[in-house]
Amino acid sequence: MLADAPQSADEQLEISCQSCGATVLVAANMRTVQCPYCASTSIVERPPTADRPDPTFVLGFVVDRDRAKNSVRRWLRNSGVFARSDFKEAAPEVLQGVYVPAYLYGAVAHTNYTADIGENYTETETYTTTDAKGNTVVRTRTVTRTEWRPLRGNHACYILDVVVTASNGVSNDKLEAIEPYDLRALNRYSHTAIAGWMAEDPSRTQEECFQLAHQESVQKVGRMLDEFMPGDSHRDLRYHTDLSNEVIDLVLLPLWTFAVKYDESKPPVRILLNGQSGKITGNVPISAKKVTAAVLVGLGIILAIILFVAAFQ
C-alpha cells in the first residue's frame, strides 16, 4: 500500500492505514511502516531530495526468518572459548528484517606512485666459528641480500561496486563485516520489491557517503598497487589517487537484526545477519574468568618448563 507524505516530510508524520483506517506514526528515516492494529505494511512516498533520493536498486532477501534465527543460534554457540557462557546459551530475539539504505559507488582512478623495489640475490660468504672440540674453523654459507631501486609510475583502473552505508543505525564497519553482497542479483527498485518488509530511508548525507566511498576506493587502489609492484619485495609505497567519472546510486540491502539479552544488568548485544548470504557479525562479550583461568594455566605451564629445565642443569 502506498501513502503520500506531505511535501515538508522531514520529521515524523501521520498517515492513515489503507487497510483499517487507523492513524499510524511514521519515523522520519523510514520508507515503510507496519500498522500496529492490522499488521499491514504501508510504503511512504516522500518527495526525493539530494540527501534522500529514491532508491535505484534493491537486493532481495534470500535468508528467511527461521534460517536466520537458526544461523544466529549456531553462531552464538560457536562464538569462541572465551565468550561468556550465558551469551553462548542465550536465545536470540528477532528484531526485524529490514532493507538498509546504502550507496553503490563507481569511478575511474588515476594514480601516481613511488616505491622502492627490492630484488634478491645470493652471495657466498666466509666466516669463522668454533667446533665441538673448541677449535676455530673457517666455513662458508650462502646468504640472501636485497638490492633496492627506486620506481615511480602511473596506474589507472576502474573502481567498481564499492558499497557504503547510508544509515546512521548501521556503521560502515558493521556493513563491511557482513559483506560481500552478490550485486549480480540487483533489481531495479519498485514498491513491490519491499512490500511487507521494513525499509529505511538514508539518514546520512550524500556528501558523507561520498567521503566514505572515496576512502574505500583509495584503500582499494592501495591494495591493487601492493599486488602490482614488481620485484621480490617493495617498501615505502606512496601514492596519490584522483577519482573521476563518479557514479553513485542508492540501493536497499537485506539485513536481519537480532538482540541477544544475556545479562539483565547489561544492554542487549545487537547481531546483524546478511539477508542474502547469511554472514553474521556482532560483538562477543568476553568472560573475564575464562581469560584469567587461561592466563594462570599458561603461567603454570611456563613455570613447569622452567623447573624441569633447571632440574637437569
pLDDT tens sequence across 213-253:
999 999 999 999 999 999 999 999 999 999 999 999 999 99
What DSSP designation does 29 have? T
Q: Over pLDDT 90: what percentage of the chain?
A: 53
Quick check: 103 and 211 in contact, CB under 8 A? no
Name the more confident of 138 and 183: 183
Select from 75, 90, 94, 79 the least CA-distant residue to 264: 90
* pLDDT number for residue 8: 46
pLDDT, tens digit, for every residue of 68-85? 999 999 999 898 888 888
Quick check: 106 and 243 in contact, CB under 8 A? no
Distance between CA atoms of residues 49 and 307, nearest Å: 73
